Amino acid sequence: MVPHELSGSTARAERVPLHALWARRQATKFNGVPYIVQRAAAAVFTPEGRKQTGEQVAYYMENARRIREGLAGAGFTVFAGEHAPYIWMRTPEGLSSWDFFDRLLQEAHVVGTPGSGFGPAGEGYFRISAFNSREHVDEAIARVSKAFGSHHP
C-alpha cells in the first residue's frame, strides 16, 4: 500500500505523488499472464503434454472407480465417478449431509463435501473427490467400510 499523501522528488526537485507512479508500475508489470504460465499452457498441447495429461486423468478416474466400487461394496448407494472424478453417495438413513460429514470425520477420519453445500437438492447426499494418491484413496475406502460396514446406523 502506498499512501496517497506520499510524494517524491524529480531530478528538478519537483514533488510527485508516488501512489500514481506505483499504480502505473504495478499495472504495467502485472498486466497479462506471466510468460512461464503461457509456456506451461502451450506445453499441454504438445504430444508429450497430451500424454501426461491423459495419464493424470486416467489416474484420477481409476481412483474414482475404486471409490465408487468400494463404497458400493460397503453398502452405500453411489452415483457418478464414471465421467468425472467425483463420487456422490446417499447418506445413511436418518443422517443429514452435515451429520454424515461429522460422523465420517470422527469415525473414519475421512473428509468430503456435504451435499447441502450444493443447494437444497443436495441434502441427503455426500460428494467425495478422487483427487488424491492411490494409497490415500484405498485407505479412505477401508476406513469408511470399517466404520460403517454394510449396515448403516
pLDDT tens for 18-75 read 888 888 888 777 777 888 999 999 999 999 999 999 999 999 999 999 999 999 999 9
pLDDT of residue 32: 79
pLDDT of residue 106: 96
For 96-119, how does the pLDDT look when each residue is reduced to its tens digit (9 = 90+)?
999 999 999 999 999 999 999 999
Enumerate the β-bridge partners of residue 90.
125
DSSP 49-106: HHHHHHHHHHHHHHHHHHHHHHHHHTT--EEE-SSSSEEEEEPPTT--HHHHHHHIII
Collapse the DSSP code of 13 into the 3-class scheme (helix H, G, I; strand E, B; otherwise coil) and give the result. Answer: coil
pLDDT band of residue 150 (cuts 50, 70, 90) is low
Sign, CA dihedral 17-20-23-24, equals: negative
- Count of residues in the chain: 153
pLDDT(9) > 50: yes
CB 86, CB 122: distance < 8 Å = no
The whole-number average pLDDT for the span 140-145 is 95
The whole-number average pLDDT for the span 62-89 is 95
Collapse the DSSP code of 41 into the 3-class scheme (helix H, G, I; strand E, B; otherwise coil) and give the result. Answer: helix
Q: Which pTM was predicted? A: 0.73
Q: Residue 142 CB: number of other CB atoms within 10 A?
A: 14
Backbone angles phi, psi at 138, to 5 degrees: -65, -40
Query: What amino acid is encoded at 81 in this protein?
Result: G
Which residue has better confidence, 90 or 30?
90
For each of the domains in the chain, give its residue range(s) and CATH number, in order of start: 47-148 (3.90.1150.10)
CA 92, CA 101: separation in Å to the nearest integer?
Answer: 11
pLDDT of residue 39: 93
CA 48, CA 6: separation in Å to the nearest integer?
Answer: 51
